[in-house]
Amino acid sequence: MLPIDHIGLAVHDGKKAEHLLNQLALATPALPEDLNQQGVRIRFYGKGTRLEILEALGPDSAVTKFLSKRGEGLHHIAFRVANVQLQLERMHMAGFQPLTETPVLGADGKRIFFLHPKHTSGILVEFCQPKNQYHVRFDSCPKLERTMELTGHCIPHNDAPEHVVTAGSLPQLCQSLVLHNASFELSQHNIAPPPVPILISETSTASHFAHTLHERWPNAQLAVLPESSQYTCLPEVLLNFWASVKNG
Ligand code: MC0
């Protein structure tokens, strides 16, 4: 399933909602963002799937009309996708009604579009493509490739990738390298580490080989995870790794 990026809640007074969410869930928001194109002030709460508190910025805002007709509450659900233009075309072909011809600017620099609620059981649905995306080549690890693509933050890229994830051979040129369940093979040879940030990803079953490799390549990061939860936990580990490479 596509990840739920956020759930939008429309409120009359964002400050009041802030106080309520603090009482209910010890929540503090990210800095408010005004998105004049959509006529809304936005406060995000939480990590992963976030709450998006929407306040209208003027009488012409879609949120003003929503509040007067339906009152405060659930405004929309947003799914994250890697390619929002492609998703718009898919939804159009499937008979849904995108509310804009092309994706538009959303909060956090995302590109977004909405579907008319009359075709989606009365729920306004948004699709969004995050601003932060990584171009990655996956060598011989199709399951991880599918898992990472589903996060919406990762675009498989074969020609000139920024980053490489490999379960096999070491690449020539890249900004960072993830060795995925490859430490048994690599620990058998005395190879010098490529001069880029490296993450060794391994299951706990093969942790011995990962630690042997790590002793030889001490600058590499190590992510040893139980086999049963490797694919659940790895996306966040990889996205944090690529973010740290990007931020130097
Ligand atoms: C209206 N309706 C909704 C709804 N808003 N149903 C579910 N969820 C909503 N949020 C219902 C109305 O009650 C009505 O139902 C029917 O949809 C059609 O209403 P309408 O009067 O014909 O149309 P409008 O003028 O109320 O427009 C509704 C529509 C509009 C969804 C088309 O609000 C729109 O284009 N929304 C997309 C943009 C948006 O919402 N921007 C603000 C958030 P009945 O039963 O009476 O027919 S921007 C945002 O959130 C960004 C920043 C982000 O996440 O990054």
Residue 160 has pLDDT above 80, yes or no: no
Q: How far is CA 94 from CA 10, 68, 89, 98, 193, in A?
A: 28, 32, 9, 11, 48
As a whole number of Å, the end-to-end CA separation of the chain is: 32
pTM, to two decimals: 0.91
Burial class (CB in 10 A: 0-12, 13-18, 19+), 44: middle
169-213 pLDDT tens trace: 888 788 999 999 999 999 998 899 999 999 999 999 999 999 999
Share of residues in the chain with pLDDT > 90 (%): 89
Q: Cα 217 vs. chain centroid, distance in angstroms?
A: 29
Mutate to test the pocket of ligand 1, among 38, 61, 119 (most ligand atoms within 8 A of CB): 38
Determine the Cα–Cα distance for residues 124 and 134; give it in Å rounded to an integer: 29
Parallel/antiparallel/unpaired status of strands 40-45 and 111-115: unpaired
Residue nearest (by alpha carbon) to ligand 1 atom 5: 66
124 alpha carbon to ligand 1 midpoint, in Å?
A: 6
